Amino acid sequence: MSMHCYETIYDVIVVGAGHAGCEAALAAARMGCSTLLLTINLDAVALMSCNPAIGGLAKGHLVKEIDALGGEMARNIDATGIQFRILNTRKGPAVRASRAQADKQLYRLRMKRILEQQDNLYLKQGEVTGLYLEGEELRGVDTRSGIRFLGKTVILTTGTFMRGLIHIGLTNYPGGRAGDLPSVGLSDQLGHLGFQVGRLKTGTPARLDGRTIDFSRLEPQYGDDPPAPFSFSTERITMPQVPCHIAYTNPRSHEIIRSGLDRSPLYAGVIEGIGPRYCPSIEDKVVRFPDKERHQTFIEPEGLETVEVYPSGMSTSLPIDIQIPFYRSIEGLERVEIMRPAYAIEYDYVDPIQLRASLETKLIRNLYHAGQINGTSGYEEAAGQGLMAGINAALRVKGREPLVLGRSEAYIGVMIDDLVTLGTKEPYRMFTSRAEYRLLLREDNADMRLREKGHDVGLVRDELFGHFLRKREMVAAEYERICSGRLAMNDREQEFLALHGLGDIQKGTSLEHLLRRPEITYKELAEFDDVSRETPPEVREQVEIQVKYRGYIERQLDQVERARKLEGTPLPEGMDYFSVNGLTTEVREKLAKNRPDTLGQASRIPGVTPAAISVLSIALKAKG
Ligand code: FAD
């Protein structure tokens, strides 16, 4: 087909305006690059394909990190969230996580408005059917409507759309998501170019008509009051807040599911793609846990202006004549009407093992992949990668070194390192257990870890950075004061110690020592210490965590220091592992296949032993 070549040469072209694409495009444009964002349907920008919620365990951490670096997701959910909760408040600070229900349409509309108002950012509708290469040089992209767009760098964020195939029972049809066209052609070209294209699947529940649910028989669950924002720059949440409701399946529901298994595309062998282990469909749960009498579901509102609700954890690809009696078997849902059926979707992804830590592909210079195309699942995982790909494409255009976050700096760093070092054969989602330095990577200190990096690349504005610097100074000063302040044993202090049964505390004890006691928090300190009372809550929180967890934090910092040497030792790009003496054939093959960038990455490849790492480091020294 002959192409009409558009006159502009963009610095960055982003393909796909999902959660990855929006962050990528905003980052590049905010860093001053002329950026084109192309997407199949402009009315589906930042659409939530599955659950209308942001955050949750480990995912909340990602959102805070995106915010600290200067991304948009946290501010978008703060402006459109209709129920906010902090999970695990009774557990340690490392695993506390924020989660919010979104008004799905408002979320999408606000993100589109932010994109439209962004300088340097051009939003256009178009389906990319292929990369445009001159020889081996990437020059731009071609679209279905016959327009060729030229760009210096390209970021692919195609989500579940490449060769998307929707399944409802044994019926299937092409689609990128229910109601959206698939992306056809692009993944074939990627395969021809040498990328390892694989097939994954995921599923979503039916959307139900809230008017046909008897909510009086369900247990309401309210959000936190007051709701705590995600973003370090949001002062407070102003959206109206609404409850979710809890319901349960029962043995009859499971019987109905079992009666339809022979027509499940999964069990009948129609679906080839591998599904998310951690987000199983209801038929998977019923088959895998036959003794479980009930499964819980949260009935989540999809927005303030719609009756549609989302039954979480109830995804299925069973036929509609099973879906209807199944949902109706749940107490309170006896008369429920389905507005959109549940379905599963299969799609093409590209194994992220073929990426560098900057998310640039190893095969084609200036091409980046981010989001579900890399085999991940989840909005937050996608957004985190999109942001990094956007930053790195912009840095490339500016001739600067890429920004790579370490495993000790951010969950985003852990995720990208996992993906590019190990690749993935099944949908990858974030968990706190994937991070070895969990106590350092908390939600509450995401700004301490990453604000400066966001400012350095030009994403965090000076004004916000100024706020952060003041906070950081206050935390340092308060920590210093707590460590040096000593009890003089005046009347107030003596009264306080007696009241809290702290008779063993002596004159001259530091406030830090007192705060380390499990029964004492800043709230108690404030009873006799006037400065504590004046200290802003976000400063108190940092100092309190630093004091209470000091031992553990120091131990993790030691481990980070020891690992730093390996992380900082690069492996030459064309290194011939077969010529290194002392490595087993298995290790040689793994290294040759994975092509790690550093000794640290090499050490995380399963089968690459500590012995092999020392052999490698000696070989590197010998090479000098
Ligand atoms: P998407 O949000 O899919 O966005 C991709 C964007 O790219 C779209 O706007 C699309 O139009 C555009 N696009 C694609 N190809 C082209 C092209 N060639 N040219 C131009 N534009 C293009 N996640 C979970 O964590 N848990 C779940 O249970 C879960 N279930 C899901 C169920 C279903 C049915 C679906 C569809 C998704 C589910 N997800 C789930 C995944 C979640 O939606 C994604 O992880 C997340 O949206 C990925 O973001 P993304 O930006 O990578 O891609």
Residues 467-489 have a mean pLDDT of: 95
pLDDT at 92: 86
Q: What is the mean pLDDT of residues 40-67?
A: 97
Rounded Cα distance, 65 and 381, in Å: 11
* Atom from ligand 1 closest to the CA of residue 385: 52
> Is 0.85 exceeded by the ipTM?
yes
Ligand 1 lined by 371 (C-beta under 6 Å): yes
Q: How confident is the model at residue 405 (pLDDT cuts 50, 70, 90)?
A: very high
CB-ligand 1 contact for 372 (6 Å cutoff): yes
The model carries a pTM of 0.95
Residue 44, token pair as written in the block: 């589906």
Mean pLDDT value across residues 310-336: 97
Model pLDDT, residue 609: 86
**C-alpha pair distances (Å), 349 with each of 355, 375, 384, 478, 604:** 13, 6, 17, 49, 23
Asked whether 487 and 505 are in contact (CB, 8 A), the reply is: yes
Measure 47 CA to ligand 1 centroid, in angstroms: 8
Secondary structure (H, E, C), 551-571 = HHHHHHHHHHHHHHHHHCCEC
187 lines ligand 1 (CB under 6 A): no
Q: Ligand 1 mean position to 18 CA, how many Å? A: 6
User: Ligand 1 centre and the CA of 288: distance in Å?
Assistant: 27
Q: Report whether 588 contacts 555 (CB < 8 A).
A: no
Assess whether the C-beta atom of 40 lies below 6 angstroms from ligand 1: yes
**pLDDT for the residue numbered 278:** 78
Q: Which two tokens stand for residue 554?
A: 């120091």
Poorest-pLDDT segment among 143-147, 172-176, 339-343, 432-436: 432-436
Q: Which atom of ligand 1 is nearest to the CA of 370?
A: 52
3-state SS class at 154? strand
Position in ligand 1 atom list of the atom nearest CA 376: 45
Ligand 1 centroid–CA 161 distance in Å is 7
Which residues neighbour 611 within 8 Å (Cβ) at sequence distance 6 or greater?
none
Mean local confidence (pLDDT), 24-47 = 98
The reply to whether ligand 1 has any atom less than 6 angstroms from the CB of 115 is no
Instruction: For residue 249, report the distance from its CA to the centre of ligand 1, in Å.
Output: 28
* Phi, psi torsion values for 242, nearest 5 degrees: -130, 160
Residue 275 Cβ contacting ligand 1 at under 6 Å: no
C-alpha dihedral, 473 to 475 to 479 to 480, nearest 10°: 10
Tokens of 551: 């031992």
Q: How far is the CA of 159 from the centre of ligand 1 (A)?
A: 4
542-590 confidence digits (pLDDT tens): 999 999 999 999 999 999 998 888 888 999 988 999 999 889 888 999 9
Cα 69 to Cα 451: distance, rounded to the nearest angstrom: 5
Average pLDDT, the chain: 95
123 alpha carbon to ligand 1 midpoint, in Å? 18
Atom of ligand 1 nearest to the CA of 157: 52
Ligand 1 atom at minimal distance to the Cα of residue 181: 11
Span 477-497, average pLDDT: 92
Res. 621: pLDDT tops 90? no
Q: How far apart are CA 156 and CA 178, in angstroms?
A: 21
State if residue 62 touches ligand 1 by the CB under 6 angstroms criterion: no
329-364 residue pLDDT tens: 999 999 999 999 999 999 999 999 999 999 999 999
Task: Indicate whether residue 279 lines ligand 1 (CB < 6 A).
Answer: yes
Query: Is any ligand 1 atom within 6 A of the Cβ of residue 316?
Result: no
Q: Is the pLDDT of residue 2 over 90?
A: no
What's the token pair of residue 572? 């030459």
Whole-angstrom CA distances from 485 to 480, 496, 508 are 8, 16, 9
Residue 623 has pLDDT above 80, yes or no: no
- Residue 204: CB within 6 Å of ligand 1? yes
Which ligand 1 atom is at minimum distance from the Cα of 372?
52
The answer to whether the CB of 189 is under 6 A from ligand 1 is no
| DSSP class per residue in 313-331 | T----S-HHHHHHHHHTST
CA-closest residue to ligand 1 atom 26: 378
Nearest alpha carbon, ligand 1 atom 46: 379
Cα–ligand 1 centroid distance for 379 (angstroms):
8
Residue type, 29: A
CB 17 near ligand 1, within 6 Å? yes
Which pLDDT score, from 0 to 100, does residue 624 have?
67
Q: Is residue 415's pLDDT more than 80? A: yes
* Average pLDDT of span 284-307: 96
For ligand 1, the distance from its centroid to the CA atom of residue 347, given in whole angstroms, is 10
The response to whether residue 384 sits with its C-beta less than 6 Å from ligand 1 reads: no
Tell me the β-bridge partners of 141: 131, 149
Q: How far is the CA of 5 from the centre of ligand 1 (A)?
A: 28
Is residue 19 pLDDT above 90, yes or no? Answer: yes
Return the pLDDT at 270: 84
Q: Judge whether residue 503 has pLDDT over 90.
A: no
**Is the distance from the beta carbon of residue 16 to the nearest atom of ligand 1 less than 6 Å?**
yes
Closest residue by Cα to atom 47, ligand 1, is 379
Would you state the pLDDT for residue 610?
A: 83
Q: Render 195-244 in DSSP notation, one character per residue.
A: --EEEEEEEEPPEEEGGGS-GGGSEEE---SSPPPSSTT-----S----E
128 CB less than 6 Å from ligand 1?
A: yes
Convert the pLDDT of each residue in 216-248 to its tens digit: 999 999 999 999 999 999 999 999 999 999 999
Q: What is the pLDDT of residues 262-280, one digit of tens each?
A: 999 988 888 888 888 878 8
Helix (H) or strand (E) holding 588: helix 585-594
Neighbours of 592 (CB within 10 A): 12
Alpha carbon nearest to ligand 1 atom 13, residue? 16
How confident is the model over 503-513, as a mean pLDDT?
Answer: 92
Q: What percent of the chain has pLDDT over 70?
A: 100
Question: How far apart are the CA of 449 and the centre of ligand 1, in A?
Answer: 29
> What number does the ligand 1 atom closest to the CA of 49 have?
43
Please state, in angstroms and rounded to a whole number, the distance separating the CA atoms of residues 123 and 35. 9
Name the DSSP letter for residue 505.
Answer: P
Is the Cβ atom of 428 under 6 angstroms away from ligand 1? no
- What percent of the chain clears pLDDT 90, i.e. is strictly above it? 86
CA proximity to 478, closest of 436, 533, 558: 533
Q: Tens digit of pLDDT for each residue in 389-402?
A: 999 999 999 999 99
Q: Is the pLDDT assigned to residue 384 strictly greater than 90?
A: yes
The response to whether residue 127 sits with its C-beta less than 6 Å from ligand 1 reads yes
- H/E run at residue 369: strand 367-369
Q: Which residues contact 258 (CB under 8 A, 6 or more apart)?
A: 286
